[in-house]
Amino acid sequence: MADSPFIVDVTRENFESVILHGSMQGPVLVDFWADWCEPCKSLMPILAKLAEEYQGGFTLAKVDTEAEQEIAGQLGIRSLPTVKLIINGAVADEFTGALPESDVRAFLEKHIGAPAVPEGGLLETAQALAEQGQTEQALQMLREAQAAEPENGDIAIALGQMCMATGNYDDARQCLSILSEADAKKPEAVKLKGVLALSDADDSSRDEQSLMADLEKDKGNSEAAYLLGVKQALRGDTDSAVTTLLNLMMRDREYGDDAARKTAISLFESMGEDPQVSRYRRKMASMLN
């Protein structure tokens, strides 16, 4: 946080340049806090997150009231946390207490609008945030975009992918369910559908070692073979997964109402445009002929 260009610790020495002069160039959100103040500690990360999200839309100026009592007294601070929005050298608005993020967002949007989407587009920005570990921020950005454009299939697919990556499987399914017929055929949607199907088929109570041990005792254990193939697929060992599932398909086509073949197809879908998929599909076709 200290390294952020959008967050500044305010002292008597830089008060004028950061808050008075700085607010003539752009909005300055001044956070008055103290180390002993527990609500201050819960509000701080929200303000810091929004400062990064706005990318210069406002400057977050932090005032430690214990170290800078003169500044706190000059601005009439009587309770903590207190947050003041300074625009053009004057207080435009303020609030006290540790508000939830949604309320702080509404406070900012009332005066300075929503954060601009950086060049590169919404989807690219959300992906970049996720890659930086800011998954919740990326999810919120996509949820808001999807609410604003419910018929935008690309946003719904991207939100579904993000939900899937964070374990929100039900939300990912909901994203797929609202797609138009055309959007549902897009490679990204088909891939998401395949990954979801594999996750649904998994039995989290079993691990690969115990399944392999069961198969060593009984090579005809169809359930163990099926669950092993699913787990191999989920961890990315596609060669092993295809071999396991197709062997089961040939040996016990009746298991789970042709579950091995159906799950193999889900695996192919989850691989997207991987060139290996064509080879696997040909292998399955030759076994069925």
Percentage of residues in the chain having pLDDT higher than 70: 97
Q: Per residue in 91-133, pLDDT tens?
A: 999 999 999 999 999 999 999 987 765 544 677 788 877 887 7
- 163 included as an active-site residue: no
Exposure letters 132-154 (e unless 16+ CB within 10 A, then b): eebeebbbbbbeebbeeeeeebb
Between the CA of residue 41 and those of 29, 31, 32, 200, what are the distances in Å?
16, 11, 11, 40
Q: Is the pLDDT of residue 183 over 60?
A: yes
Which residue did the predictor score with more confidence, 134 or 30? 30
The DSSP letter of residue 142 is H
Exposure letters 87-124 (e unless 16+ CB within 10 A, then b): beeeeeebeeebbeeeebbebbeeebeebeeeeeebbe
Catalytic member of 37, 129, 142, 198? 37
Amino acid sitting at position 123: L
Domains of the chain: 7-112 (3.40.30.10), 122-185 (1.25.40.10), 208-288 (1.25.40.10)
How much of the chain is helix, strand and coil, in % rounded to 5?
Answer: 60, 10, 30
**What pLDDT band is residue 266 in, cutting at 50, 70 and 90?**
very high
Cα of 101 vs its chain's centroid, Å:
16
- 175 included as an active-site residue: no
Q: Do β-strands 28-33 and 59-64 pair in parallel, antiparallel, or remain unpaired?
A: parallel
Q: What is the mean pLDDT of residues 186-211?
A: 93
Q: Is the pLDDT of residue 164 over 70?
A: yes
Q: Which of 209, 156, 192 lies closest to 269 in space, CA to CA?
A: 192
Q: Do β-strands 28-33 and 82-87 pair in parallel, antiparallel, or remain unpaired?
A: antiparallel
Say whether pTM exceeds 0.85: no
Q: What are the φ and ψ backbone dihedral angles of 255, each rounded to 5 degrees?
A: -60, 125
Q: What are the φ and ψ backbone dihedral angles of 95, each rounded to 5 degrees?
A: -150, 160
Q: Is the pLDDT of residue 1 over 70?
A: no
Q: What is the mean pLDDT of residues 77-96?
A: 96
Q: Which of 82, 158, 90, 85 lies closest to 127 in space, CA to CA?
A: 158
Determine the Cα–Cα distance for residues 144 and 147; give it in Å rounded to an integer. 5
Amino acid sitting at position 256: G
3-state secondary structure 67-129: CCHHHHHHCCCCCCCEEEEEECCEEEEEEECCCCHHHHHHHHHHHHCCCCCCCCCHHHHHHHH
Determine the Cα–Cα distance for residues 85 and 125; give it in Å rounded to an integer. 27
Amino acid sitting at position 222: S
Q: What are the φ and ψ backbone dihedral angles of 66, each rounded to 5 degrees?
A: -70, -40
Q: What is the pLDDT of residue 116?
A: 64
Q: Which of 197, 122, 129, 114 lies closest to 156 in space, CA to CA?
A: 122
Catalytic member of 40, 159, 211, 249? 40
286, two tokens: 């030759």
Determine the Cα–Cα distance for residues 84 and 127; give it in Å rounded to an integer. 32
Q: What is the pLDDT of residue 141?
A: 84
